[in-house]
Amino acid sequence: MSSILITGATGNIGVVLVEHLKKDHQLTLVDIDFSKMPEHLMDGSTIKKADLIKPENWSGLLEETDYVIHLAGDPSPDAGFYDSLLDMNFKLTYNLFEEAKKETNQVKRIIFASSVHAIDNYPDNVQVKTSDYPRPADLYGVSKVFMEALASYHAYTNGQEAIGIRIGAFNGDISPDISNADAFSVYLSERDLCHLIDCCLEATLKEPFLLVNGVSNNRFPRMDIYQAHVDIGYTPQDDAFEMQGSGVYDFKKEPEIDMDFE
Ligand SMILES: NC(=O)C1=CN([C@@H]2O[C@H](COP(=O)(O)OP(=O)(O)OC[C@H]3O[C@@H](n4cnc5c(N)ncnc54)[C@H](O)[C@@H]3O)[C@@H](O)[C@H]2O)C=CC1
Ligand SMILES: O=C(O)[C@H]1OC(=O)[C@H](O)[C@@H](O)[C@@H]1O
């Protein structure tokens, strides 16, 4: 049983991970707002209501934490810089890594939510690998690239292990949004998300910082998932297309597929 602290624990992704992890781990749930958090998801966990933008609220927070799953922030692709991102995505994440620096013998690994928005300025028919240069299409994506750079800096400077997950689109239910083709390519199902987090918690890393792509085994995966399979054993089960009854398709058998699906 590990001690896991989840920031943004009451959000869309947070509640799913709390449900998944609570039986096997000691959880500390941190969020600025617990008003909508179901009671049964809080039972047995340590609850900390805190505004994580304020550096003082981090003091001692990681003292007994083995793993951090960092989700708190602004998830809106159209978020503005001064009115939101600077505080919620830049400063808040900076605070996390500064506090972890005080606890490097304690915090084994930080797993944080990056996003497909870090690379969304690649043409739609290109499948992007984590080794490709970042190419954000909005300032939200820029904030995710900042998080990745910050994690890499702390990994190679202070020895703080971290994994960034470029999450596609997590909708929290089994029906991907079929209103546009993009949604099929970036879809991440609930069970694949939970499996991916398990992989991130259990993997032995060759390097102190790793970036992985977080999409399901979709017919046209916008981001490569083979590398995550090699690096941490990620083996997603779901395909947004199949889930819509579009037929069985295993992209791994036809890697040269024409991805011009717009
Ligand atoms: N949902 C998705 O499809 C995707 C999400 N992500 C990233 O995953 C993470 C979680 O996303 P969601 O769960 O969808 O977002 P969400 O908005 O549902 O959850 C974020 C949580 O952070 C909390 N929070 C905000 N400001 C805070 C503060 N100052 N102090 C403490 N807590 C604060 C909010 O109360 C909320 O519960 C975000 O970093 C987002 O950028 C990345 C790609 C796709
Ligand atoms: O691109 C997408 O669909 C998703 O990407 C994200 O990073 C956002 O946090 C989420 O709100 C979007 O739905």
**What distance in angstroms lies between residue 8's CA and the mean position of ligand 1's atoms?**
6
**Residue 157: its H or E element:** helix 139-158
d(CA 255, CA 38): 43
Residue nearest to atom 3 of ligand 2 (CA): 169
| Whole-structure pTM value | 0.93
Min mean pLDDT across 67-76, 186-195, 221-230, 244-253 is at: 244-253
Which carries the bigger pLDDT value, residue 197 or residue 182? Answer: 197
The beta-strand segments (E) located in 56-181 are 67-70, 109-115, 162-167, 169-170
Mean pLDDT of all residues in 56-75: 97
Q: How confident is the model at residue 172 (pLDDT cuts 50, 70, 90)?
A: low
pLDDT digits (tens, 9 = 90+) for 117-164: 999 999 988 999 999 999 999 999 999 999 999 999 999 999 999 999
Q: Which residues contact 11 (CB under 8 A, 6 or more apart)?
A: 31, 71, 72, 75
Check residue 250 and give its pLDDT: 39
- Residue 166 CA to residue 114 CA, distance in Å, equals 4
Distance, CA of 6 to CA of 37 (rounded, Å): 14
- Using an 8 Å Cβ cutoff, are 125 and 260 in contact? yes
pLDDT at 175: 57
Indicate whether residue 3 lines ligand 2 (CB < 6 A): no
In this structure, the residues whose C-beta lies within 6 A of any atom of ligand 1 are 8, 10-14, 31-33, 51-53, 71-73, 75, 88, 92, 113, 115, 167, 169-170
pLDDT digits (tens, 9 = 90+) for 29-64: 999 999 999 999 999 999 999 999 999 999 999 999
Q: Which residue has the tokens 């920031």?
A: 7
**Residue 90: is its pLDDT beyond 90?**
yes
Q: What is the mean pLDDT of residues 219-232?
A: 94
Could you identify the residue written with the tokens 């990745």? 148
Rounded to whole angstroms, the Cα distance separating 199 from 177 reads: 26
Ligand 2 pocket residue status of 114, Cβ below 6 Å: no
Q: Band of the pLDDT at 221, cuts 50, 70, 90?
A: confident
Residue range 104-114, pLDDT digits in tens: 789 999 999 99
The second-level CATH assignment, the architecture, of 3-261 is 3-Layer(aba) Sandwich (3.40)
What's residue 259's pLDDT?
47
Query: Domain segments of the chain: what residues?
Result: 3-261
Q: What is the pLDDT of residue 176?
A: 53
Q: Residue 247 has what pLDDT?
A: 42
- Structure tokens given for 13: 């992704």
